[in-house]
Structure 1
Amino acid sequence: MRLFVAVFPPDDVCRDLRHRLTDGGARNVRLTPVDRWHVTLAFLGEVTAERLPEVTRELDAVTVPRGAMLRLHGGGRFGQGRSAVLWAGVEGDLDGLHRDVAGRLGVADREFTPHLTVAYRDDPVVRLALDGYAGPAWPLDGIALVRSVPGEGYTILRSW
């Protein structure tokens, strides 16, 4: 099963960003589904069912800094053209949480850019709407282990 560990912003935070993007005129680009909006802390890739108990044990030991304030702010782009990914940035200290999760799970330590993917295609209107965006702050209330099934969506297996 394909797994990742993520933070899910509250509904009001997602609504605020979606409103900013659609009010900005983002009508010709397909936004990612709001119910899937998340900030990935670590991508595990394919994990066997036999390894799942080990993964959950390691995540049991993670110290989640509950109450740490986060905010969607600004944005950027990975890649170019049709392979571009547009994202909203995340303000707040997720670096330590990322290192703890990635270290415990033995995930390769790549450069961590906390972000929330909003579209899988470049669009100047979306980029402009993200420029200077500062959404409502919210307190971190936990992390989730998520299963991703391409074409079907996400299932939260467990939350901490």
Structure 2
Amino acid sequence: MRLFVALYPPPEALDDIVAQTNRLRIGAAADAGINVRLAAPSTLHVTVAFLGEVPDDRLPTVEETLARAVEAWHHPPARRRRATTAASPAEQPGQHAERALSDVRTAPRLQLGGGGRFGRGRFTVLWVGLLGEVDALHRLGATVRRELRRSRLPFDFRPLRPHLTLARPGDRLDPESLAEDLRTLDGYLGPSWPATELVLMRSHLGPRPTYDRLAAWPL
């Protein structure tokens, strides 16, 4: 089975970007019957890690691994810093104590905004970017990938590039219209939202890919 790990924006964020897409030249092209392969609203997601093909009997291992990753995300290893308060009685005068600190992370707050393209010609893909606490999203992605590696599970090693795919028009949209859409997306800013859960999905390939939700963990 073909698996990936994702974040899903809430309905208000999806409604906003769908409305924006409908106002683009690519939306008008779709209304005119041109197959620009707009992503169905129900499939819009942000990929955190792509596993690809995984044997069915390894699904329990995948779920255990992602549960461990989320736990590690919530409770990263304690770090140490020098205390800035007065020394305790057990400390020598003039010395600074080192205190162990453990951060409990909360759901990163994100926002769809900006955009761009991947590929050229018939491989063109149109996407909207991620803004907000993107550094936290990168740390989450790194944690997930580290645990996948520990479990000897497959995943795409390419760097995480947070985005949400809007369409795969290929060369079916003229260059001027595509350039206009890219300029419009560059100024787009959607509503802010907390990424509240990490989701394990199964994808089924085809002209209209479909996804099955297999499991989820709160962030």
Q: Calculate the TM-score normalised by the size of structure 1.
A: 0.92
Residue 78 of structure 1: aligned partner: 118
Structure 2 unaligned segments of length 5 or more: list them: 30-35, 74-104, 150-154, 171-177
Q: 1:38 to 1:79 in 2, by over 3 A?
A: same
| Pairs within 5 Å for 1:11-160 | 11-25=11-25, 26-28=27-29, 29-63=36-70, 65-91=105-131, 92-93=133-134, 94-106=137-149, 107-121=155-169, 123-151=178-206, 152-160=209-217
Shift of residue 125, structure 1, vs aligned partner:
4.0
Q: Distance in 2 between matches of 1:90 and 1:82?
A: 25
Q: Distance in 1 between matches of 2:116 and 2:142?
A: 22
Q: Distance in 1 between matches of 2:122 and 2:146?
A: 33
Greater Cα shift, 125-134 or 47-56: 125-134
Question: Is the contact between residue 49 and residue 156 of structure 2 (CA under 8 Å) also seen in structure 1?
Answer: no
Residue 6 of structure 2: aligned partner: 6
Q: 1:18 to 1:134 in 2, by over 3 A?
A: same
Q: 1:36 to 1:127 in 2, by over 3 A?
A: same
Question: Is the contact between residue 38 and residue 116 of structure 1 (CA under 8 Å) also seen in structure 2?
Answer: yes
Say how many residue pairs are matched.
160
Shift of residue 119, structure 1, vs aligned partner:
0.6
Structure 1 unaligned segments of length 5 or more: list them: none
CA RMSD of aligned residues (A): 1.6
| Deviation string, structure 1 residues 97-146 (Cα, Å, up to 9, x no partner) | 11111111123431211000001125334323311111000011011000
Greater Cα shift, 128-137 or 35-44: 128-137
Q: Which has the larger radius of gyration?
A: 2
SS at 1:55 equivalent? helix
| Deviation string, structure 1 residues 15-55 (Cα, Å, up to 9, x no partner) | 10111121234311341111000000000000011111111
Q: Calculate the TM-score normalised by the size of structure 2.
A: 0.69
Q: Distance in 2 between matches of 1:125 and 1:3?
A: 34
Q: Distance in 2 between matches of 1:140 and 1:32?
A: 20
